Amino acid sequence: MKNEIILVTGASGCVGQYIANWLLENSNSELFLWVRDPKKITSINLNNPKIKVLVGDLREANKFKKELTQVNRVIHTATAWGDPKRAKEVNIDAVKNLLSLLNTSNIKQIIYFSTASVLDKNLNLLPEAFTYGTEYIQTKAQCLSQLETHELSTKIIAVFPTLVFGGRLDGKSSFPTSYLTEGLREAFKWIWLARWIKVFSRFHFIHAADIAYICGHLATSDFEPAQTVTKNKIKKLVLGQPHTSIDAAIQTLLKWKGMRKVPQIPLWTWLVEILTILLPIQITNWDRFSLRQRHFIHEPVTSPESFGGISYAKTLSQVLHNSGLTKQ
């Protein structure tokens, strides 16, 4: 039997490289890796005979019509933000064009990456994502809404990563470092101030290695999410560990740095809103909505344990350890 062909878009990104590595090590699938710049792939030997590299912008899908008709599964991680025009072209238009070029008789599954920010606690689309969201949030919400009625909707599994860690800060990893892991350096610069504040918000996080484990199992097994799915509604999986709180995260950082606890001042939502008015702080409508929402938790969440596996980083302490940060 011929090996399946899996297309990974955004394959040079942090999550894309973790996924491609997992598939190379744990499956017999052939991989089409779609990238704009192959030089950014630092963790994969592109001479591997199981790999074919497609070099081009996602908006240039017509260049790869022949290859796309051969694909059996798609893992779509590529995205854009910052520029509203490019965000729409990449996050909506290019996705629809990509799907239109797939051979419906060959395609078995499409794993579409969105963001947990567009969902409420019960995994329903937030109306505020359409009205208050940044260009990234809005285009992700719009695309998801359109995919729910797409002719391939029953073959789509939409995954919604929460806060993503990945790579290392000490240069000892071949994987790219995620924006959140990079931000740990800045977080430690301000931990002396943050320890005086008690914040009540809760959130989920996940490591890119655990995202790769989940997507790898989805793409190489007959796993079906437990979620009940109505006709023309896509399956949804929020990727994350059980929720923690910002206050608990601060305490973990303090312990890691060997800093003592101090009396904390509760930072209530109403106080934050007053400070944004009194101080020269510019916040967007989405920022304001997020402040009022306060908790960013979902039910259920999916982790490697959902597949009988063991997470690479289940706790924030493990995240810090795997990020190469020196413990004091």
| CATH superfamily, domain at 5-163+206-239 | NAD(P)-binding Rossmann-like Domain (3.40.50.720)
CB 210 within 8 A of CB 303: yes
The dihedral of CA 298, 302, 305, 306: what is its sign?
A: positive
Amino acid identity, position 169: L
User: What's the pLDDT at 230?
Assistant: 44
**DSSP strands (E only) in 201-303:** 202-203, 205-207, 235-239, 244-245, 265-266
Element (H, E) at 245: strand 244-245
Q: Which residues pair with 240 in a beta bridge?
A: none
CB contact burial 47-69 (16+ within 10 A = b; e otherwise): eeeebbebeebbeebeebeebbe
The label of the residue with tokens 């908006």 reads 59
User: What's the pLDDT at 229?
Assistant: 42
Alpha-carbon gap, residue 17 to 40, rounded angstroms:
10
Residues in Cβ contact with 125 at an 8 Å cutoff, skipping those fewer than 6 apart: 118, 119, 141, 144, 145
Alpha-carbon gap, residue 160 to 238, rounded angstroms:
5
Ranges of residues in the chain whose predicted pLDDT is under 70: 1, 222-232, 267-283, 291, 294, 328
Q: How many helices (H) and strands (E) does the chain have?
A: 13, 13
**What residue spans define the domains of the chain?**
5-163+206-239
User: What's the pLDDT at 277?
Assistant: 58
Tokens of 273: 């809103």
Tens digit of pLDDT for each residue in 111-167?
Answer: 999 999 999 999 999 999 999 999 999 999 999 999 999 999 999 999 999 999 999
The alpha carbon of 145 is separated from its chain's Cα centroid by a whole number of angstroms, namely 18
The label of the residue with tokens 């190469």 reads 324
Tens digit of pLDDT for each residue in 204-244?
Answer: 999 999 999 999 999 998 666 554 444 447 899 999 999 99
Q: Is 165 helix (H, G, I), strand (E, B) or coil?
A: strand
User: What's the pLDDT at 272?
Assistant: 57
pTM given for the model: 0.92
